[in-house]
Amino acid sequence: MHILPTISTMFIVISAIFVGFGWYHIVKGHRETHQKLMVFGAIFALAFFIIYMSRTLFEGNTAFGGPESLKLPYHLFLFFHITLATIGGVLGLVTLWFAYKKKFLKHKKIGRVAAIVWLLTAPTGVLVYILLYIMYPGGTTKPVIDAIFGL
């Protein structure tokens, strides 16, 4: 069992659940509940990031171990997921900053986009996890650039 990837994937799913419920509550006008849920969402996203980066630094990333015919589609999907996650993370930080500074019009405008991106990022991350650890045996562990580009 790959415990750290499992935990970090669970954290990203929990983060997305908090973001989804946070969005629901702000639409209903429940500002305090929204704020608490979004902070929890950010905490779980940060926990994911810390585990992911620690694992990447100390162990490397797992290469795709599935069939050769799926390598290119997998790597294109992985690139899409990484791009979404990066954009979502940056937008999330900007959104949190605007909320902290009480610039709620900017927070609302960027927050909608950040939430949508994050709610797309989580399921793509789960699919990457499923492909790497459940459907196919994980390949060798290697530095992140090698794993991303299938080297």
Contact 39, 99 (CB under 8 A): no
Looking up tokens 């996890």 gives 129
Sign of the C-alpha dihedral computed for residues 131, 64, 19 and 85 taken in this order: negative
Nearest partner of 62 among 143, 1, 7, 121, judged by Cα:
143
Q: Is the pLDDT of residue 116 over 60?
A: yes
pLDDT, tens digit (0-9, with 9 covering 90-100), for 69-92: 999 999 999 999 999 999 999 999
In this prediction the pTM is 0.87
Per DSSP, the residues of 24-86 read HHHHTT-HHHHHHHHHHHHHHHHHHHHHHHHHHHHT-EEPP-S-HHHHHHHHHHHHHHHHHHH
Phi, psi (degrees; rounded to nearest 5) at 140: -70, 155
